[in-house]
Amino acid sequence: MRFSVDAHAIGQHLTGNEVYVRNLLNGFAALDVESEFTVYMAVEEACAWIPERFTKRIVPRNPFLRLGFDLPRSLRRDRPDLLHVQYTAPLACPVPVVVSVHDVSFLEHPEWFTALRGRQLRMTVRRTVRNAVRVLTPSEFSRQAIAQAYGAEEKTVVIPNAVSDAFRPIPRESATAWVRDRFGIPAPFVLSVGDLQPRKNQIGLIHAFERLARECPQLPHHLVLVGKETWYAGRVRHAARKSPCAGRIHFTGFVGDDELLRLYGASDLFVFPSFYEGFGLPILEAMACGRAVACSNTSAMPEVADAAAILFDPHSIDEMARAMKDLLIDPELRARMERLGLQRSAAFSWENAAQKTLAVYYEVAQGRARLREAVRTAPAL
């Protein structure tokens, strides 16, 4: 079999999309030593993340050039049995498409996107889902949302995401010293991870942290916000500057996995106040690092966290502040949630996700082969 994967997200700080495709490729390399894999990347540096035996092709960063011209031309040359993309397939795609749609927030909450980005997603994802042979999504929540939006129930498959082996418990003391030296952030601190964008709700978290500091002045904690700058970042930073806790709020920008591991390891608590997630990978990452988690009770997050996190309404500053307070002032509760989190994160594996994804690939490729054979052997009229 010959499989092609659009991995242009690797090396471009596209966070969840990058983590997803990177870990799937590593899983494919370990599980399938017979098939040929061709990986399309947008930056040379991404080669370091691609399994050595896979064929690597560089495609343009510009999505119009990549999707409109280069990928269709490359696919006609490489002639794979299918192409796997995230959200958007190339125009005039000459091979069957498997598409991963992690969520449809661009349909349900267009206010979280720039006008251009929202319009582009609404147009291209609808076309891609309609033409795709299979649609992969990481949660039952997203499966239902896709079905409601596109009516693609019969071809949508739920394959949960997982957490990389890179995320694991590490000694708190060494992690704390590293974070202090690298970022100048003192311990103790509360951590949150996510691009600075509206749906991640960092402004709500800042207000909840203010309330926590006001109600529990004995707590010396700082708040650390990890995530890539976006068009919305100025508003988040403005809220931090205007906060009475401004001196205790820190931004790191985008960080790599090694830095993120140490930030998780040095934190006292992980808080994920997002309004909407198709999965919520940082929840599992924090749990795998042995950190207690408080997260939103909306969309796919309860499905991912199960009973291993304290849930709150992300629209309620009171509930968010109370969740942080309960975990910070009660060491027994915090230790219990840390144990439950480690158990919960262990239930998800990229090997399992890769195995299930490969099963979809083989189903699609073998169906195509049967169709070709039927056409070849059909009697002439």
**364 in the same domain as 269:** no
Residue 252: phi and psi, rounded to 5, are -105, -15
**335 in the same domain as 353:** no
Residue 131 has pLDDT above 80, yes or no: yes
Structural domain includes residue 240: yes
**298 in the same domain as 204:** yes
| Alpha helix (H) residue ranges in 307-378 | 317-329, 331-345, 350-377
**244 in the same domain as 135:** no
**281 in the same domain as 363:** no
pLDDT digits over 137-195, tens only? 999 999 999 999 999 899 999 999 999 989 999 999 999 999 999 999 999 999 999 99
Comparing CA positions, the residue from 96, 99, 258 lying closest to residue 167 is 258
Q: Residue 75 belongs to what domain range?
A: 2-162+349-377
Structural domain includes residue 88: yes
Comparing CA positions, the residue from 311, 328, 309 lying closest to residue 320 is 311
User: What's the CATH number where 218 sits?
Assistant: 3.40.50.2000
Residue 223: phi and psi, rounded to 5, are -120, 125
**250 in the same domain as 155:** no
Residue 381 has pLDDT above 70, yes or no: no
Q: Determine which of 12-16, 164-168, 203-207, 321-325 has the lowest per-residue pLDDT on average.
A: 12-16
pTM: 0.92
* Alpha carbon distance 260, 98 (integer Å): 31
pLDDT digits over 18-60, tens only? 999 999 999 999 999 999 999 999 998 888 889 999 999 999 9
**24 in the same domain as 36:** yes
**80 in the same domain as 105:** yes
Give me the chain's average pLDDT, please.
Answer: 94
* Alpha carbon distance 109, 117 (integer Å): 12
Q: How far are the Cα atoms of 110, 208, 235, 269 from residue 318, in angstroms, in the given order?
A: 27, 7, 22, 17
**298 in the same domain as 211:** yes
Contact between residue 324 and residue 208 where contact means Cβ atoms under 8 Å apart: yes
Distance between first and last Cα of the chain: 32
Structural domain includes residue 370: yes
Structural domain includes residue 20: yes
Percent of the chain with pLDDT over 90: 90
**372 in the same domain as 237:** no
Domains held by the chain: number: 2
DSSP string, 182-193: HH-PPSSEEEEE
Structural domain includes residue 148: yes
Cα dihedral 308/311/314/319 (nearest 10) = -140
Q: How many CB atoms lie within 10 A of CB 252?
A: 18
**183 in the same domain as 152:** no
Residue 368's pLDDT band (cuts 50, 70, 90): low
